[in-house]
Structure 1
């Protein structure tokens, strides 16, 4: 039985050149912190520490906000939906313009007033109807 066995913890050390390359990958937009964490198996707080230390853009005291893939996808889907709705509104406006032009043509050439048909009897309003 081994009673005096101690677990040896691995502590990796990274060169300054490696740290700067990680920060450069992040700043270029090639990788997010999460992707760098998975790729190099380095915890994200360490990567953020390197970003604050070696970054030319990000400074300590400023919060780094990354859009997750799902947020980006959701934004692209919403932009696509807006584009589709704008196309639909455009088509409907063309149809409305066409129908209004047809009404004008019917009035001018055929002497038919579609908007106001004078042959229909007036409504009695909300008077009660007789029961049979």
Structure 2
């Protein structure tokens, strides 16, 4: 019985607007063909065909070649951004440590408890007092 069954191929049809959108993402330099393939689940050969068909930069008979340097530059930029963010986090941590030390000094020298005590009962709010 199973011998008569055929596997149905999934044929996806994409709108021309979608295809041009993918090509514009590629041309903007934000995404590589491999990244677009992973994001949208479209085969890279199909994306290259769309680039040949819809790209404003590519002429017929010219092959599209992605330079590895562009990916390396993107990686360097991302590493630099990570370094800057780690530095900012480090500076914030130093500031937090400083403020905590100041709170401890205020508590020891002036008997001021700045940190909120978790056992403190909640305020009932401000009620009008009778005169």
SS of the residue corresponding to residue 3 of structure 1 reads helix
- What is aligned with 1:63? 63
- What is aligned with 1:17? 17
SS of the residue corresponding to residue 59 of structure 2 reads coil
- What is aligned with 2:43? 43
- What is aligned with 2:7? 7
Larger Rg: 1
For residue 2 of structure 1, report the CA deviation from its aligned partner: 1.9
Give the unaligned 5+ runs of structure 2. Answer: 77-131
- Return the alpha-carbon distance in structure 1 between the equivalents of residues 7 and 64 of structure 2: 36
- What is aligned with 1:30? 30
- Return the alpha-carbon distance in structure 2 between the equivalents of residues 47 and 70 of structure 1: 19
For residue 60 of structure 1, report the CA deviation from its aligned partner: 2.2
- What is aligned with 1:93? none
SS of the residue corresponding to residue 42 of structure 2 reads coil
- Return the alpha-carbon distance in structure 1 between the equivalents of residues 32 and 13 of structure 2: 22
Q: Residue by residue, what CA displacement relative to the aligned partner does 1:4-25 show, whole Å, maximum 9, x if unpaired? A: 1110010100000000000000
Q: TM-score, normalised by structure 1?
A: 0.51
Give the unaligned 5+ runs of structure 1. Answer: 77-132
Q: Residue by residue, what CA displacement relative to the aligned partner does 1:21-76 show, whole Å, maximum 9, x if unpaired? A: 00000000010001111111111111011011111111221121212379726xx6
- What is aligned with 2:54? 54
Number of aligned residue pairs: 75
Q: TM-score, normalised by structure 2?
A: 0.51
